Structure 1
Amino acid sequence: MREAKKTKVLEAAEAAFLRYGYRRVTMGDIASAAGISRPALYIHFCNKETIFQGVLRAFMARTLEELRAGLAAQPTAEAKLRFAFEVWAVRPFGLLSATPDAKELVDCGFAFARGAIDEGAQAFEAELAAILAPLGEGAALPDPAQMARILSRAVQGFKQTAASTEELGALIEGLLGMVLPSLGPGHTEADAEALP
């Protein structure tokens, strides 16, 4: 399948999953939405699970691309971390929250797309580690990769308990408010404003 056609299938499937959940969407629905025949769809995707994994990987790739593109415009480590969590956690949480069958999609992701979820989490943690690495130079701070994993996993837990995007944002703000001052002066927006 040419890349453009594969992208069209994954986009059609993503829209269908977000609108109807996973279980109610059929391979025929996806084929019809993508403008191809069902047999043509089966030639390239053996089942709905494979399509779901592809949708998840494509979504995470777009999200990481947006994150990487926007980081350079952020003036401080605090701003970079806020932006990273906004793009990676808060916005997708809001998108999923607007979906009637959000729990079903999350459950399906963990049931048969765990590899894709883990790959995305590792890529995101690498971005966080790159933000955190300069902060610990010359100080006896934890390894940036370890710090990134802790922050990422804490926010993953927040996503499981937050009732709204506002609550998720507030929890992330609280986490960053506790962590950044422990890295020493010069890492928060207040520190940057205090510089001459």
Structure 2
Amino acid sequence: MDEREQKILDAAIRVFTRYGYKRTTMNDIAAEAGIVRQTLYNSYGSKEDVLRAGIRYFSDTLLAETQAAVDTAPDLAAKLDALFAHMILAPFDMMSAAPDAEDIVEGFNTAGRCEIAEANSRFEALIAGMIAPYARNFETAGVKIADMPAFIRSSAHGYKHSSLTREALVGLLEILKVSVLRLAGAA
């Protein structure tokens, strides 16, 4: 990705967050990026294309930050804390600050399903690497290690979407963390 594309996508994320998906126009994105509309159209043919690219860019950035934090964490508990801080709490905080959060989520769901599915797969691969050293303990507990990454990711995402407050979300993530640690034999 070149510098211009990064500038456009940073601007698009800010505008989508500010106005929601439906109310955002290509003119809004171009103005925020400091470019003319035709330059935006030269890179992206539609608002949906910008949204898909923005989701990919946001998830790539989030995944890289999460991976870096997980890689430096000393144990599974700290790795789970880092995972939840980056993958769940940071996006929750961003969406909580957005006035049209429901519209953003709806836009993500309609225009970016494939991008979101790909991002979920990459997060699950990261989780699989985190818990791989504990495979025997999971299996001994009667849990298939192959099922755990999707379980952890989907549980955490479900909590993010259903929690009304950050405090409630943090509490649910703590329960998930304790459960995973016990199954892993790391608690």
TM-score normalised by the chain length of structure 2: 0.92
Q: Is the 8 A contact 2:137 2:184 kept in 1?
A: no
Q: Which is higher, the Rg of structure 1 or of structure 2?
A: 1
Name 2:167's counterpart in structure 1.
166
Question: Which SS does the other structure have where 2:172 is aligned?
Answer: helix
Question: Which structure 2 segments of 5+ residues have no match?
Answer: none
Contact 2:131 2:184 in 1 (8 A): no
1:19 and 1:99 in contact (8 A); partners too: yes
- The aligned residue for residue 44 of structure 1 is 43
Distance 2:88 2:103 in 1: 18
Give the TM-score taking structure 1 as reference length: 0.88
State the 1:178 CA deviation. 2.2
Deviations 1:99-153 (Å, cap 9, x if unpaired)? 0000110011111100111111111111111011001247635343310111111
Moved over 6 A (4+): none
TM-superposed deviation, 1:75: 1.4
Amino-acid identity (%): 34
Within 2, Cα distance between the matches of 1:117 and 1:27? 22
Query: Structure 2: how far apart are the matches of 1:60 and 1:182?
Result: 28
Q: Which has the higher helix share?
A: 2
Size of the aligned set, in residue pairs, is 185
Mapping for residues 3-14 of structure 1, pairs under 5 Å:
3-14=2-13
Aligned alpha-carbon RMSD (Å): 1.6
Q: CA deviation at 1:179?
A: 2.8
2:61 aligned partner? 62
Return the alpha-carbon distance in structure 1 between the equivalents of residues 153 and 16 of structure 2.
25
Displacement after TM superposition at 1:71 (Å): 1.5
